[in-house]
Structure 1
Amino acid sequence: MRAISPWASTPEQSRGRLHQESGGTARGPRDVFQRDRDRIIHSISFRRLRHKTQVFMAPDGDHFRVRLTHSLEVAQIGRAIARVLGLNEDLTEALCLAHDIGHPPFGHAGEDALEAALEGRGGFDHNGHTLRTLTALERPYPAWNGLNLTWDTLEGLAKHNGPIAHPEWALAAADEEFPLELGTWPSLEAQVAAIADDIAYDNHDIDDGLRAGLLSLDQLMEVPMIAQGWRQVEARFPGVPHKRLTGELVRSQIGAMVNDLIAATQARLAKQEIRSIADVRGASDALAAFSDEMRDAERGLKRFMYANLYHHPQQMAAAQAAHGVVAGLFAAYAGDPGLMPEEWRTALPQEEPGRSRHIADFIAGMTDRYAIARYREVVGEVDLPEGF
């Protein structure tokens, strides 16, 4: 059996679940973190990720990433890192798989539309909505709402980007029901999940951007880290067409980031004499992080990606159209709740802010294509840019 580090989360030390469950192995001999991972995989919200935007909205091509494939890639990277650091792989995987469940249709464009629709009513935040979805909106069990995940998984999802001083309403509600110690650092498993997310989209979005024709190799050579990696790839495979080398570039970049993260994290753990998960939560800063050199290089890559891909005119046009779809749906349902399906209509609160938040819950659970279909049904035709 693989050795577990003293700073790892363990099933035996888990703080348990909000709702007590009977023990036994009637559904298989799994520990609590394995059950959390499996509950996430079997959830409706996880399945919906296959039709939710990652970078490209409802893309025509089958080869582009969506939230589901992105989450699987994050889980692969996170689990590999966790194994080397002696962390709990199952908890890490669960956090990686669930981290994007709260995203509405059309990614950040949809989130911006819901944030505006709920102005004065608490707003909308995809991370808080992840907790809301997993603790309240998913209802596969007869005795309670939510998936009844362990405290450790919920804490990791709530704080994977670090301590939270001022939680928005959805996260605050989850914390009130099952206090998550929002002011402390989360487990190393959560920290690894967060940086595995960065590693995945930093590099895989390059792959998708090249495939879509919105990025070129000449542009990418403006990024010193990419230019250096490309020279190394060309040296290893002389004479091979560039199109055959882009995948190797992406893999090499992921490997370089993963190796840097592992080395820097191990050095930080040793320097700060981390001996337990309590030490991890009491640390003054993140422990799982890049070296200063890689951190600066990665930030430079992000700046490039925002300027050249995420804010590309074609992407901005698609985002504007998507914003209109989500905003239009919210206005339609707020004006006439009878347009909502019966189960959502009959559960609609009469008073604010619960009324508007309920409508946002319904829209946030939609996939891209379902949102487009409902918009055409209750509002009218929508002019979508090429690529939808």
Structure 2
Amino acid sequence: MRAPFAADPFSHGGREFGGNAASGAAPNPESRGPRTDFQRDRDRIIHSMSFRRLKSKTQVFISPEGDHYRTRLTHSIEVAQIGRVLARALGLDEDLTEALCLAHDLGHPPFGHAGESALSEAMARHGGFCHNAQALRTVMRLESPYPEHDGLNLTWDLLEGLAKHNGPVAAPNWALAELDEAFPLDLGTWPSIEAQIAAVSDDIAYDNHDIDDGLRAGFLDLDDLLQLDFLADQWRAVERRFPNAPRDRQLRELIRDQIGLMVNDVLQHTREMTKGMGSVAEVRDAGRQLAGFSPEMREHERRLKAFMYDRLYYHPEQVSAAERARDVVARLFAAYSQDAGLMPPEWRAKLPEQDPQRSRVIADFIAGMSDRFAMQACETIYGERPRGLINV
């Protein structure tokens, strides 16, 4: 049953180009065809080049040789799967939730957070760089398959959710502020429950699937993981149920159980928090997060994140690879800044003469690269292939 506070694809905030954002009216249903506007949003994201490039962008491991490690693309699909389960159980709009989950990482540059760190440093004098704002810039300005306008022309509800799925934005960076001026996204309020669910689905996916990849790569050890009492309880339950199963199957069962535990916790807590909510407007005016973990699970998840940063994300081999990745991005930015002729013609044509706009276009170009394309570009410019970036 549809919840009263679910986003409505037939009465949304319109589109920047050709939509009636002022009245909130959606286009004429007779001209829509079989899809709702939120389904159209999802399909536009899936068919975008930026989405396809996620297949070669870092999730945890930089340009892994193995085919079994997650990339930004497989991670986004896993987030969407969790998001749809939660949305269906809560009576939300599944299509908006799925679209938000699929789009949430479109702004990530090559090499994950290492690449973002390098771009942030390079852009420090020109307004900075943030992958969340870059995701919005990607779908509103850079990914432009239509002859009539820039961007994918997604619904206000989708753009609002991307802009503030982690909560209200008090101090937007230049990219977000510029887009908000063109198409106001009400940055000071909480977003829809669908956007809040997309955010917690991201947490559930990477918390658990990064454990899976870390164990597979040998960077994590089960005995160390079991120092976390809530994981140890799950592991003992798995061993009791499947005492004779191979260890690798027990580990995968542990991951499934942990995801199920988190999903059920989110469902129970969100139902409690949304009691009495009668509309999307009430959600936005609530002044607090309504969808997410219970306080107890939030503490478990905080401890798990701290463990993962200590043992996996800041593992010496990961840190070493990240330093080399940052160097690749920094060298690319320096090269393109000094010689625009190194960029493809279609990007050279976009380059303004002066900063900060000039540096922002260069950052857009680099942010859109896959890991492998960035390494190839660095090799082409500097005559040597970056070493040590294939680490598993």
Instruction: Please tell me whether the aligned partners of residues 62 and 389 of structure 2 are also in contact (alpha carbons under 8 angstroms).
Output: no
Which residue of the other structure, out of 200, 207, 215, is the alignment partner of 1:210?
Answer: 215
- Per-residue deviation at 1:246? 0.8
Give distance in 2, aligned partners of 1:90 and 1:299. 29
- Per-residue deviation at 1:27? 7.9
- Per-residue deviation at 1:284? 2.1
Give distance in 2, aligned partners of 1:285 and 1:232. 35
Instruction: Please tell me whether the aligned partners of residues 329 and 379 of structure 1 are also in contact (alpha carbons under 8 angstroms).
Output: no
Q: Report the equivalent of 2:285.
A: 282
Give distance in 2, aligned partners of 1:25 and 1:248. 47
SS at match of 1:12: coil
Q: Report the equivalent of 1:169.
A: 174
Q: Report the equivalent of 1:153.
A: 158
Q: Report the equivalent of 1:299.
A: 302
Give the residue type in structure 1 aligned to 2:17: H
Which residue of the other structure, out of 310, 335, 346, is the alignment partner of 1:332?
Answer: 335
Instruction: Please tell me whether the aligned partners of residues 332 and 379 of structure 1 are also in contact (alpha carbons under 8 angstroms).
Output: no
Q: Report the equivalent of 1:311.
A: 314
Give distance in 2, aligned partners of 1:136 and 1:254. 35
- Per-residue deviation at 1:28? 4.4
- Per-residue deviation at 1:276? 1.1
Unaligned runs of 5+ in 1: none
- Per-residue deviation at 1:66? 0.1
Q: TM-score, normalised by structure 2?
A: 0.96
Give the residue type in structure 2 aligned to 1:266: R
Give the residue type in structure 2 aligned to 1:383: R
Residues 1:383 and 2:387 aligned together: yes
Alignment RMSD (CA, Å): 1.3
Of residues 10-19 and 324-333 in structure 1, the stretch that sits farther from structure 2 once superposed is 10-19
Give distance in 1, aligned partners of 2:121 and 2:350. 23
Give distance in 1, aligned partners of 2:59 and 2:300. 23
Instruction: Please tell me whether the aligned partners of residues 196 and 289 of structure 2 are also in contact (alpha carbons under 8 angstroms).
Output: yes
Give the residue type in structure 1 aligned to 2:282: D
Of residues 90-99 and 18-27 in structure 1, the stretch that sits farther from structure 2 once superposed is 18-27
Runs of 4+ in 1 over 6 A off after TM superposition: 24-27
SS at match of 2:191: coil
Give the residue type in structure 2 aligned to 1:350: E
Give the residue type in structure 2 aligned to 1:19: F
Instruction: Please tell me whether the aligned partners of residues 88 and 189 of structure 1 are also in contact (alpha carbons under 8 angstroms).
Output: yes
Instruction: Please tell me whether the aligned partners of residues 63 and 389 of structure 2 are also in contact (alpha carbons under 8 angstroms).
Output: no
Q: Report the equivalent of 2:40.
A: 35
- Per-residue deviation at 1:239? 2.0
Q: TM-score, normalised by structure 1?
A: 0.97
Which residue of the other structure, out of 4, 7, 25, is the alignment partner of 1:6?
Answer: 4
Give the residue type in structure 1 aligned to 2:298: R
Which residue of the other structure, out of 82, 86, 90, is the alignment partner of 1:85?
Answer: 90
Give the residue type in structure 2 aligned to 1:357: R
Percent of paired sites with the same residue: 61
Unaligned runs of 5+ in 2: 20-26
